[in-house]
Amino acid sequence: MRVAFGRGFDVRCQLPLAIDDHSEPEPDLAVVTGSPRDYRDAHPRTALLIVEVADSSLDFDRTRKLAGYARNGIPEY
């Protein structure tokens, strides 16, 4: 998966995104710019792509999480 995006991107699995002051969701997969080293001291605030694998959380993922990601300009969810 990591090679699909090339250099300058990091694929994070189930790690927090600091999308606002009150929410740090942990998407199943997030593609962010930079390298893991860039996020050693703080979580990324945005992502280029977020993937959620939903089983029992489908309604929550399609409503509250979707709205939070959209408010923060995440282009693909």
pLDDT tens digits for range 20-62: 888 899 999 999 999 999 999 999 999 999 999 988 889 999 9
Q: Does residue 76 fall inside a structural domain?
A: no
Count of domains forming the chain: 1
Q: Does residue 77 fall inside a structural domain?
A: no
Q: Does residue 12 fall inside a structural domain?
A: yes
Q: Does residue 16 fall inside a structural domain?
A: yes
Domain that holds residue 53: 2-71
Question: From the centroid of its chain, how far is CA 51?
Answer: 7
First to last CA, the chain: 17
- Write down the pTM of the prediction: 0.86
Beginning with the edge strand found earlier in the chain, give each strand of the sheet holding 49-51 in spatial order: 9-12, 29-33, 49-51
The half-sphere exposure of 19 on its side-chain side, counting CA atoms within 13 A, is 25
Q: Does residue 42 fall inside a structural domain?
A: yes
Average pLDDT of span 61-75: 91
Q: Does residue 51 fall inside a structural domain?
A: yes
